[in-house]
Amino acid sequence: MTSGRYIGIDVGKRWLDMNIEGMREVERFGNDVDGWMRLIEKLKEIQPLMVVMEATGGYERSAAKAISEAGMAIAVVNPTRVREYARSMGILAKTDKIDARVISQYAQTAKPLARVPQTPIEEHLAACVERRRQLVENLTVEKNRLSTCPASMREGVKEHIAYLEERIKQLEVQIQADIAQDPDRQARAERIDSVPGVGPVTASTLVAELPELGQLNRKQVAALAGVAPFNKDSGKKRGRRKTRGGRAGVRRVLYLAALSASRFNPVIRPFYNALLKRGKEKKVALVACMRKMLVILNAMLRKGEDWHYSLV
């Protein structure tokens, strides 16, 4: 009897290796349409409590979507946490089969939350936001290259820069169109954008990549975004608190928003300056501003209100 157990799946470019929590056998399926269908049929026989796989550079997305659409609970977890769990259990070797077993054991211990299925519009919005981020990174590289490339290549680089800038503008139009299709999503974006220091890019990114914003408490949302400081204490020693994990895209836009808010936001600016006067490093102070901004945004969305001082 295997129903009610966690399933761990190690994801590769070509293969999906599946292990049932508490069992040694690992079964392999292709990471393609035929493989997903075979895997889903197997999962229907097992009736697992949840299917868990690591985020693997996008190779997990189609399989996770197929499993979710088949009506099964699925969670995509941070691979760093799984690797740390493996080390804590003394599992240092790393193969596809071992990883599948480790993921199923981790799932049984950590009991991650199942992902909420996305609508087609939500999927498209998230894809547009991610693609825009990729193009912006490419644009930065090309602009840096322009100052050092040979004269014979300069015209081609300029053409590529112009193409990237135009494509980014098109994506921004599409992002706003996707947001506007849902009144609730539009209202969320407008409330986020109402905060001084926050712009349309930050607002659209948070709507697309942090849909939990406004539904969690301040500690939970800070941890989810990767801006919650973790203690590193032992006995009388008080180690330096650090942030780690979380959603990289969310942290990136929060950092830029905090940088702007530290100059112009009437609440964040004095908070930032007070931290500097206490001897905090600028980077540490900015991370604290990121966390404070996120807490403010979370409170705003929970109350369904725009920016004003009473929310601080």
Domain chopping of the chain, boundaries: 6-110, 119-181, 186-312
pLDDT tens, residue by residue, 178-192: 999 999 999 999 999
Res 39 pLDDT > 90: yes
Residue 233 — very low, low, confident or very high, per pLDDT cuts 50/70/90? Answer: very low
CA dist., res. 101 & res. 92, Å (int): 13
Mean pLDDT taken over the chain: 88
**Do 178 and 204 meet the contact criterion of CB atoms below 8 Å apart?**
no
Percent of the chain with pLDDT over 70: 91
pLDDT tens, residue by residue, 260-270: 999 999 999 99
The whole-number pLDDT of residue 115 equals 83
The whole-number pLDDT of residue 304 equals 82
Residue 239 — very low, low, confident or very high, per pLDDT cuts 50/70/90? Answer: very low
CATH class of domain segment(s) 6-110: alpha beta
- How are the residues of the chain apportioned to helix, strand and coil, as percentages rounded to the nearest 5? 60, 10, 30
Output the CA–CA distances (angstroms, integers) from residue 228 to 155, 243, 244, in the order listed: 45, 6, 8
Per the document, the length of the chain is 312
Res 234 pLDDT > 50: no
* Alpha-carbon torsion, ordered 296, 301, 306, 311, to 10 deg: -40
State which amino acid sits at residue 153. M
The whole-number pLDDT of residue 118 equals 81
Select the more confidently predicted residue: 239 or 181. Answer: 181
Question: What's the pTM value of the predicted model, to 2 decimals?
Answer: 0.76
Query: DSSP character for 246?
Result: S
Lowest mean pLDDT among 270-274, 292-296, 299-303, 304-308: 304-308
What is the CB neighbour count within 10 angstroms for residue 232? Answer: 11
